[in-house]
A = this chain, B = another copy of it.
Amino acid sequence: MESMATTKINIQNIGGDQRYVGTNEGGDHLLIDASEDLSLGMRPMEALLTSLGACSALDVAAILEKRRTPVEEYRVEIEGDRADEHPRRYTRIKVRHVVSGAGIDEKQLDRAVSLSHEKYCSVHATLNADIEYEAVLVS
């Protein structure tokens, strides 16, 4: 019984030992580095927060689209608090969804954001940090 989906990524060191490029099966790239001198990509722990915020925003936008109140602007402000001790994991992450769109009301937006974080967001569900979230409707 083979039912689970597998996601494959290859990561290659490029141009120095602190810069890596990931490639997915479709050939899309993601640059990650830890260089102090010439930083081009994000640090790994920053990329992790970006994955979480984008994952949830994609859910919320899809839910609101289905309800025929598509989003106009979407911004996510995200903060992660890291433990002092190695391995310096994120202990708490705060995600703030700032959304505008004609016809979206606050209740609907709150509900969509909750649905994403509690039910749909795969990145959220793969993290062991305490994740707090809020939704802000702007015009």
Inter-chain contact B50/A4, CB cutoff 8 Å? no
| Residue A65 interfacial (CB < 8 Å) | yes
Residue of B nearest to A81 (CB): B4
CA–CA, A127 and B82, complex, Å:
13
Inter-chain contact B44/A6, CB cutoff 8 Å? no
- Set B6, B44, B70: member contacting A58, Cβ < 8 A: B44
- Set B5, B20, B78, B87: member contacting A125, Cβ < 8 A: B87
| Residue A109 interfacial (CB < 8 Å) | no
Residues of B within 8 A of A104 (CB): none
What copy number does this chain have within its complex? 2
What's the dominant secondary structure at chain A's contact region?
mixed
| Residue A121 interfacial (CB < 8 Å) | yes
Per-position binary interface string of chain A over residues 43-72, scored 1 when its CB falls under 8 Å from any chain B CB and 0 otherwise: 111111111111101100110010000110
- 22 A-B pairs with C-beta separation under 8 A: A4-B91, A6-B79, A6-B81, A7-B79, A7-B90, A9-B49, A9-B50, A11-B54, A13-B74, A17-B74, A18-B61, A20-B54, A20-B76, A26-B39, A28-B40, A28-B46, A44-B51, A45-B55, A47-B51, A51-B51, A87-B124, A89-B122
